[in-house]
Structure 1
Amino acid sequence: RHGTRCAGEVAATANNSHCTVGIAFNAKIGGVRMLDGDVTDMVEAKSLSLNPQHIHIYSASWGPDDDGKTVDGPASLARQAFENGIRMGRRGLGSVFVWASGNGGRSRDHCSCDGYTNSIYTISISSTAESGKKPWYLEECASTLATTYSSGESYDRKIITTDLRQRCTDSHTGTSASAPMAAGIIALALEANPFLTWRDVQHIIVRTSRAGHLNANDWKTNAAGYKVSHLYGFGLMDAEAMVTEAEKWTTVPPQHVCVENTDRQIKTIRPDSIVRSIYKATGCSDNPNHHVIYLEHVVVRITITHPRRGDLAIYLTSPSGTRSQLLANRLFDHSMEGFKNWEFMTTHCWSEKAAGDWILEICDTPSQLRNFKTPGKLKEWSLVLYGTSIQPYSPRNDFSKVERVRSSPVEDPTEDYTTDDYSGPCNAECSKVGCDGPGPDHCTDCLHYYYKSKNNTRICVSTCPPGHYNADKKRCKKCSPNCETCVGGHNDQCMTCKSGYYLNEVTNSCITSCPDGFYLDKNKVVCRKCSENCKTCVEFQICTECRHGLSLHGTRCAIRCEEGKYHNGRECESCHRSCATCAGAGVDACINCTQGYFMEDGRCVQSCSSGYYLDHSTESGYKSCKRYDQ
């Protein structure tokens, strides 16, 4: 139901006279079924990297629990899927990931503790009621980029959209409704200009979103002139303005990433006090390839120990004076884990200058529910500055559309002739830059991807060959030796395995046999995890051997009870009077029969039925009735 409602907002057909019209009614849309089972890192990675040359926009209205105490984000495979998506999706223009900022407002949750909305690769979308007031479920944080409409109080109208079984609903709610609305608006912009990169889309959102009638007491104007809020980001998205801007848009300069030195000076965080740390950033001015002058995203990577994480609030002030709240107090977060290399992100410094003094402030507001004997400590923190070394909106920065879809050319080929020596046709896998020979190993730049042959020659290909994965700058790199397909080069990044190996679904590695606690799914050649009580099994719930302290009852493992009893989940309970041993309640759960009863077709009977005879030969000593033909 949830997916059907979100899909209708984006792409319901025009003039359907039934329910609603999608924002981008020319768009095509599909659903990825990923939340109907265990949502593993692999499941997330496969969902976020599904058909990246066909799917332009991924809209996600899911994430970690909005309970005000969880700190969680994408694991290694999902992070790699994001990075691969922005590098290689849409033929190198970058996949666009749209994310709902979260519905944990009532739990005092903060979306900076959600690593999906807090990522530079996602466009985090907040909600507003039609009145422009803050909805009760809204989470405030500095990573939110913009806002669209959704539900509010009980008297506010909700979102009208399609529903299951060809019905219509007028009650779609929460940031779940806002993210697909943003995805539809972005789809309109891509329809107007299909050459927009993933960063172009974010720039256009920043430039065209408006504070308008959105009600917040924290609106501020940053040093670049943009109004921004922790509730609504840069404001309400404007479809017409985005399309107009997209039609005349010039691609922004390449992204530079500046990782400033880590400040490892340990500072004690005392109750009812503020810890300040000042870092003088250069924006990596000594390295032209990493030099950031004009900011886009700013990430603070931080490690803190603390007896109650929810008592902390964290602020970052830019050299231009823009103050972002990276974390607010969370009433229900009693964790003593603190933060370990957690990344907080802010968009509030967009287009400001990077160089100068950055001020980190940590406030400890103690609750009565904590241990005051152990103070918190700021162990280390560092800045990661994302942006450009060139003013992104300069009229002189006029890249052509051909340039928009090209990345850096590959190194010079090893053949001994130059471009002047060859004037024939190029291979189909060469880009428009040209070639110095007829083969796929003669391209100056590849159209799609390339890999290195055994003699170190670069060969252009349409897709990476088996045993390779799409890495940076169009390069196909080798998977771990046993992997057939993978998302990275390590042995725990396999997706499928070579013949003779099986994929361990937990470790994502390729192995020759399934270990204890796993069984072989022969259809998919995957080692799948047994039920938690099994030591060995042939299917998930069909155990062949049990873990220590458990005993096998039929095909299930249960806590071992004395003979004549079974474990009902809480305690040992007597079997049916006809059972000597049993796996559960009732006459049908008998394993062996008590004195005066005989086992016949899984039931204990007092006398054998017609066509059966009494068998005295069982090794266990328990008697059974067998068919005459057995």
Structure 2
Amino acid sequence: MKVFIKVPIFFTGFHPIFAFCLYLAVSHLYGFGLMDAEAMVIEAEKWTTVPQQHVCVENTDRQIKTIRPDSVVRSIYKATGCSDNSNRHVIYLEHVVVRITITHPRRGDLSIYLTSPSGTRSQLLANRLFDHSMEGFKNWEFMTTHSWSEKAAGDWILEICDTPSQLRNFKTPGKLKEWSLVLYGTSIQPYSPRNDFPKVERVNSSPLEDPTEDYGTDDYSGPCNAECSKVGCDGPGPDHCTDCLHHYYKSKNNTRICVSTCPPGHYNADKKRCKKCSPNCETCVGSHSDQCMTCKSGYYLNEVTNSCITNCPDGFYLDKNKIVCRKCSENCKICVDFQICTECTRGLSLHGTKCAIYCEEGKYHNGRECEPCHHSCATCAGAGVDACINCTQGYFMEDGRCVQSCSSGYYLDHSTESRYKTCKRCDASCLDCSGQGDRNCTSCPSGFNLDTGVCIVGTICKDATEESWAEGGFCMLVKKNNLCQRKVLQQLCCRTCTHKG
């Protein structure tokens, strides 16, 4: 018959049986709850003696801090683990004692927490409704047992929370007077197999039951997987390691598997464990959705929130690698690149591809206020005649400038539906023109002659008489008989010879 007893969690010594306890739920108030005492005794028969215990008393922090109601006081102590004294040097922790002196009008309102350099947070004291004492704590000792085999040196964080109860009708602050750490542990890794520590001789504690029936792991004597540490294993696979060399993760059936690096979708957490990222993350630094580094296929990383999303929101654009949603410049509501806006935030207007503070028509923003445009500009992007966007009545836009009449080589475009008119450049064959294309020339460059709106090559291009180039006349006969190539006839019948058709 097996006997179950309630066992508190403040055990001493680094024994392999407690390795599994790191992965079970632990109550700060009630320990592990019911445990199988007989199984613990059987397991204890196989324990290996641990290295000599060292006790390191760190210097006292006497910096006084005020504990105000509804607030948290934090104090950080950088521990050395007594590295300057080989007889007291603690590298690997067994447990920690905190000595605290506090004055407070109602100490039952206080709760105290301690966080180790490895990030393990332990509750040293909970709120107590019926503790009405006004004595506070004078050199009281609180112990934590949640830091097995962690490193002793580093920053220890003490947190004191003051939560006034309804029984407290005044809010006088308390004082943290001083506190210190007493570190218990070893200077040698307690889990490493060492031949210089004698093993406890095994005896049968019960004549009714052979413990080897339940614990057959000692039967395996083959090689361990490469990912197992020197502690050993109970089988050949990476899921049989007693302790992992690098990292481990838990499979769907809760089996611990040792790996060299954390697999995709996991991150390296404390104590060699690979924990799962948020579902949309490919790689991450933590389990929350805002701790992603890269995303799974079909998702993009928001560079501001570090979360994985399916579409870039307003104010963001998808980078050229189509991986990250990057932030637009601050004035853009929608953009296609950092400085290329397509829509502006409220109160701003789009000028080309940039957003500027909106000014009424005829003014521009100089960085401080709105100023009038040049008198020829109806709208503008800056000062001067060269910054016009549209022109006032009586002026026309020509190559970015407002002019009162189109220059030589330009024509006034009447086709636009806008009330703003522009001067457009003539066809390259024209010197001046009245419209678009090569058949609206009004004058020709040197070496060309104008013929019904078209500029053609020639110095003298005029047929002898009107009758000579009419249908059935002399010049038409010259052209039909391919005689235009003769120089004399070409000059006599220039217009007919050069005419298309």
TM-score (norm 1): 0.37
- Cα offset for 1:463? 1.0
- Cα offset for 1:615? 3.0
Q: Deviations over 1:214-271 (max 9, x none)?
A: xxxxxxxxxxxxxx99999999999999999999999999999999999999998999
Residue 558 and residue 611 in structure 1: after superposition, are their counterparts in 2 closer, same or farther (change >3 A)?
Answer: same
- Cα offset for 1:495? 0.9
Partners of 1:591 and 1:413 in 2: CA distance: 93
- Cα offset for 1:596? 3.6
- Cα offset for 1:313? 24
Residue 377 and residue 423 in structure 1: after superposition, are their counterparts in 2 closer, same or farther (change >3 A)?
Answer: closer
Residue 600 and residue 494 in structure 1: after superposition, are their counterparts in 2 closer, same or farther (change >3 A)?
Answer: farther
- Cα offset for 1:478? 0.6
- Cα offset for 1:466? 1.0
- Cα offset for 1:310? 31
Partners of 1:454 and 1:239 in 2: CA distance: 30
Larger Rg: 2
Partner of 2:424: 626
Higher relative contact order (CA 8 A, sep 6+): 1
Q: Deviations over 1:430-457 (max 9, x none)?
A: 2223333332222222221111222222
- Cα offset for 1:392? 13
Q: Deviations over 1:291-335 (max 9, x none)?
A: 999999999999999999999999999999999999999999999
Query: What is the SS of the residue equivalent to 1:230?
Result: coil
2:245 matched to 1:474?
Answer: no
Q: Deviations over 1:562-609 (max 9, x none)?
A: 211111111111223332212223444332223344334544455556
Among 111, 118, 130, the alignment partner of 1:313 is 111
Conserved in 1, the CA contact under 8 Å of 2:45 and 2:203?
no
Among 363, 385, 389, the alignment partner of 2:183 is 385
Q: Deviations over 1:470-492 (max 9, x none)?
A: 01111111100011110000001
Residue 270 and residue 573 in structure 1: after superposition, are their counterparts in 2 closer, same or farther (change >3 A)?
Answer: same
2:18 matched to 1:245?
Answer: no
Conserved in 2, the CA contact under 8 Å of 1:533 and 1:547?
yes
Query: What is the SS of the residue equivalent to 1:404?
Result: coil
Query: What is the SS of the residue equivalent to 1:473?
Result: helix
Conserved in 1, the CA contact under 8 Å of 2:49 and 2:200?
no
Query: What is the SS of the residue equivalent to 2:304?
Result: coil
The 10-residue stretch of structure 1 (423-432 or 373-382) with the greater mean CA deviation from structure 2 = 373-382
Residue 527 and residue 283 in structure 1: after superposition, are their counterparts in 2 closer, same or farther (change >3 A)?
Answer: same
- Cα offset for 1:468? 0.6
Residue 527 and residue 587 in structure 1: after superposition, are their counterparts in 2 closer, same or farther (change >3 A)?
Answer: farther
- Cα offset for 1:548? 1.9
Partners of 1:336 and 1:575 in 2: CA distance: 76
Write the mapping of 1:146-225 to structure 2, written as runs, cut at 5 A: none
- Cα offset for 1:619? 4.1
- What do you get for the CA RMSD once the two structures are aligned? 15.3
Partners of 1:560 and 1:459 in 2: CA distance: 62
- Cα offset for 1:541? 2.2
Partner of 1:325: 123
Query: What is the SS of the residue equivalent to 1:425?
Result: coil
Partners of 2:107 and 2:356 in 1: CA distance: 38
Partners of 1:403 and 1:606 in 2: CA distance: 111
The 10-residue stretch of structure 1 (497-506 or 308-317) with the greater mean CA deviation from structure 2 = 308-317
Residue 269 and residue 394 in structure 1: after superposition, are their counterparts in 2 closer, same or farther (change >3 A)?
Answer: same
- Cα offset for 1:427? 2.5
Query: What is the SS of the residue equivalent to 2:35?
Result: coil
Conserved in 1, the CA contact under 8 Å of 2:45 and 2:200?
no
Write the mapping of 1:417-496 to structure 2, written as runs, cut at 5 A: 418-496=216-294
Partners of 1:409 and 1:555 in 2: CA distance: 89
Partners of 1:268 and 1:503 in 2: CA distance: 43
The 10-residue stretch of structure 1 (231-240 or 547-556) with the greater mean CA deviation from structure 2 = 231-240
Residue 500 and residue 248 in structure 1: after superposition, are their counterparts in 2 closer, same or farther (change >3 A)?
Answer: same
Query: What is the SS of the residue equivalent to 1:257?
Result: strand
Residue 514 and residue 312 in structure 1: after superposition, are their counterparts in 2 closer, same or farther (change >3 A)?
Answer: same
Conserved in 2, the CA contact under 8 Å of 1:566 and 1:574?
yes
- Cα offset for 1:494? 0.7
- Cα offset for 1:340? 26
The 10-residue stretch of structure 1 (445-454 or 262-271) with the greater mean CA deviation from structure 2 = 262-271
Conserved in 1, the CA contact under 8 Å of 2:114 and 2:159?
yes
Residue 431 and residue 329 in structure 1: after superposition, are their counterparts in 2 closer, same or farther (change >3 A)?
Answer: closer
Partners of 1:282 and 1:340 in 2: CA distance: 25
Residue 285 and residue 580 in structure 1: after superposition, are their counterparts in 2 closer, same or farther (change >3 A)?
Answer: same
- Cα offset for 1:551? 1.7
Conserved in 1, the CA contact under 8 Å of 2:193 and 2:231?
no
Residue 313 and residue 434 in structure 1: after superposition, are their counterparts in 2 closer, same or farther (change >3 A)?
Answer: closer
Residue 519 and residue 426 in structure 1: after superposition, are their counterparts in 2 closer, same or farther (change >3 A)?
Answer: same
Conserved in 2, the CA contact under 8 Å of 1:413 and 1:444?
no
Q: Which has the higher helix share?
A: 1
Q: Which has the higher strand share?
A: 2
Conserved in 1, the CA contact under 8 Å of 2:364 and 2:380?
yes
- Cα offset for 1:620? 3.6
Partners of 2:114 and 2:361 in 1: CA distance: 66
Partners of 2:382 and 2:181 in 1: CA distance: 59
Partners of 1:282 and 1:525 in 2: CA distance: 44
Residue 625 and residue 530 in structure 1: after superposition, are their counterparts in 2 closer, same or farther (change >3 A)?
Answer: same
Conserved in 1, the CA contact under 8 Å of 2:191 and 2:231?
no
TM-score (norm 2): 0.45
Partners of 2:386 and 2:129 in 1: CA distance: 51
- Cα offset for 1:349? 20
2:394 matched to 1:579?
Answer: no
Conserved in 2, the CA contact under 8 Å of 1:409 and 1:444?
no
Query: What is the SS of the residue equivalent to 2:386?
Result: helix
Residue 587 and residue 446 in structure 1: after superposition, are their counterparts in 2 closer, same or farther (change >3 A)?
Answer: farther
Aligned residues: 403
Q: Deviations over 1:173-210 (max 9, x none)?
A: xxxxxxxxxxxxxxxxxxxxxx999xxxxxxxxxxxxx
Partners of 1:496 and 1:321 in 2: CA distance: 25
